């Protein structure tokens, strides 16, 4: 069962929430997959999304990579959601900790996902803690980048059609890291 543990409304009306729960159960227009550049969804968040959504997500991902090549941090792509309760999965490539320019790459993945959601005319989206799992990005640092990027996006795009953004976190350690950053930014 998902639980909202923090909420902030931007002056332009968009709502940002931290949700303690399972990303694959989110009933939003799109969930964001913390993907690798070849869209091979074997483990972590990507594996959970692919497993729960069914083989259609991996099949569509394979077709995308075959047609377009590998996916960049700046230009997330989307597939249908298969059996998931959302409409789309936006595949955002997060940086691997230690590869260089990680903060810039993570911000680009988040900003690109929001931009793609606006292009698709979506009104709600849910993010995981991109890159904080097997990619090794420190949780508090990722929280700072993700929250600041979302805030900046809505400041720069007050007419965005996205009215609801969830940051959906499964484990308590990640939630605690995001809450620490949240309390400095929004409280």
- The reported pLDDT for the residue numbered 50 is 95
- The reported pLDDT for the residue numbered 2 is 83
- The reported pLDDT for the residue numbered 44 is 86
Question: Which of the residues in the chain have pLDDT under 70?
Answer: none
What are the structural domains, with CATH classification, of the chain? Answer: 3-185 (3.40.220.10)
* Residue 69 burial (CB count, 10 A): 10
Put simply, whether the predicted model's pTM sits higher than 0.95 gets the answer: yes
- The reported pLDDT for the residue numbered 27 is 97
Q: Whole-angstrom Cα distance, residue 88 to residue 165?
A: 14
Closest to 2 measured CA to CA, from 175, 185, 134 = 175
| 129 CB-near residues (< 8 Å, 6+ apart) | 34, 139, 142, 143, 146, 167, 169, 174, 177, 178
């Amino acid at each position: 069962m998902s639980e909202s543990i923090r909420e902030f409304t931007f002056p332009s009306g968009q709502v940002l929430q931290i949700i303690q729960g399972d990303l694959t159960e989110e009933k939003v227009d799109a969930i964001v997959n913390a993907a690798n550049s070849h869209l091979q969804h074997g483990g972590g968040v990507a594996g959970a999304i692919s497993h729960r959504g069914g083989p259609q997500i991996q099949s569509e991902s394979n077709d995308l990579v075959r047609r377009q090549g590998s996916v960049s941090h700046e230009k997330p792509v989307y597939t249908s959601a298969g059996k998931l309760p959302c409409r789309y999965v936006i595949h955002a490539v997060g940086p691997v900790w230690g590869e260089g320019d990680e903060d810039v790459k993570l911000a680009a993945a988040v900003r690109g996902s929001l931009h793609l959601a606006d292009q698709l005319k979506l009104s709600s989206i849910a993010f995981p803690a991109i890159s904080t799992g097997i990619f090794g990005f420190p949780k508090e640092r990722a929280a700072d980048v993700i929250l600041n990027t979302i805030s900046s996006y809505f400041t720069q795009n007050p007419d965005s059609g996205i009215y609801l953004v969830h940051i959906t976190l499964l484990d308590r350690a990640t939630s605690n890291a995001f809450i620490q950053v949240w309390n400095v930014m929004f409280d």
